[in-house]
Chain A
Amino acid sequence: MTVSIKTLRIAVAGLILLVAGIVAATWESEATRVRKVFASVERNLHKEGSENPVATALRAKRLTETLAPSARITIPELGFDVAMNPDRIQREALYVLGSADTLKVTFESLRVQVDGDSATATADVLVVGSSTEFGRGRNVRALTTRLEKDSGQWRFRSIRLDPIVK
């Protein structure tokens, strides 16, 4: 069997294009991975009604997994500045998810800057929710976070919430 040079060239070019396409489709930048952490938080803080306690516990666990051990959470307007261990984070997450009847958290204008194994991300966080205890409410805060990469996984090292209008 003889293959002409022209056919061979076309086959090689096709192969290169195919490999490039696969790489482009599967390659993920670190910034994209950081954005996925935010998407995961959005998903796990989305609640539309009463749910099975097991499902709530699972969400709380997933949220805990997005935070580094002893992650620092700072909310200056409440005088809150605490480094939390995973147990406390899970307890707080369970409390928030358990007490809210409906909850939707959205990160808008998300900006991510990656520097090696650490990253800074800023966003406006919109929280819309309702609970029998507090009624309906919506709130917006400016979010500044630092994340670090540990064993290939991006996790929040610090979270800070500030009012947009002071």
Chain B
Amino acid sequence: MDQRLARFLLPKLDRRFGLRLAATALVVFLACRFVLRPTVVSGESMAPTYSAHGFNFCRLLAFRNREPRRGEVVVLRYGGERWMLLKRILAFPGETVEFRNGVLHVDGAPLDEPYVQYPSDWNSPPKTVPEGWIFVMGDNRSMPMETHVGGCIARSRLIGKPLW
């Protein structure tokens, strides 16, 4: 075996290797804590855009210098930092939202949502998004509305967006 390859695969467990390992572990820890948080999608509420058990990273600095846009998929803190929601932002404070026969209306006008692929029959009364809150919903509206976690959520719970 080539000597360099052998050294790569079977490194000498010396002080230098220990330092490298510690530095790598520190960089990975900091990156996962402050920049890219590994996440696993559970549930089908974002199908077909994201399917259950898919792996992704949450970009924690995505909204550091800009506000989120309508239609953008975002990650929200739900049960602390361990349990997060992957949803699409659909309305902002002051806007009124309602579902009419499965079509989301914002301020009375139907919203063009090409990412919603499954048929839906949702209906809901008009609701105004309060100040400091945003309106989010998943792409899969074929499930019963009561079992779908979506609606108004505090803006402060927005932590980032998926990497892909």
Residues of A whose CB lies within 8 Å of any CB of B are 106, 108-109, 123-124, 126, 140, 164-166
Contacts and interface: CB of A to CB of B under 8 A. Distances in A.
A124 B154 CA distance: 13
B80 interface: yes
B150 interface: yes
B116 to A, nearest CB: 19
Interface in B30-85: 77-83, 85
Contact of B152 (A106, A108, A109, A166): A166
Most buried by A among B77, B79, B149: B79
Contacts, number: 36
A126 B79 contact: yes
A87 to B, nearest CB: 32
B153 interface: yes
A109 B151 contact: no
B157 interface: yes
The 8 A-B pairs with the shortest beta carbon distances in the complex, nearest first, are A108-B80, A140-B79, A109-B80, A126-B79, A165-B151, A166-B152, A124-B80, A165-B153
20 contacts: A108-B79, A108-B81, A108-B83, A109-B77, A109-B81, A124-B80, A126-B80, A126-B82, A126-B83, A140-B79, A164-B153, A164-B154, A165-B85, A165-B136, A165-B149, A165-B150, A165-B151, A165-B152, A166-B152, A166-B153
Contact of B157 (A123, A164, A166): A164
A166 B79 CA distance: 15
Interface of B: 77-83, 85, 136, 149-154, 157
A88 to B, nearest CB: 29
A123 to B, nearest CB: 8
Given A109-B81, A164-B157, A165-B150, 13 more contacts: A106-B80, A124-B79, A124-B80, A126-B79, A126-B82, A126-B83, A140-B83, A164-B78, A164-B154, A165-B149, A165-B152, A166-B151, A166-B152
Nearest to B136: A165
B157 A108 contact: no
A4 B44 CA distance: 77
A108 B77 CA distance: 10
B133 to A, nearest CB: 8
Contact of A140 (B78, B150, B154): B78
A140 B80 CA distance: 9
Contacts of A106: 80
A89 B2 CA distance: 73
A73 B80 CA distance: 22
Nearest to B151: A165
Nearest to A140: B79
A66 B21 CA distance: 46
Nearest to A110: B80
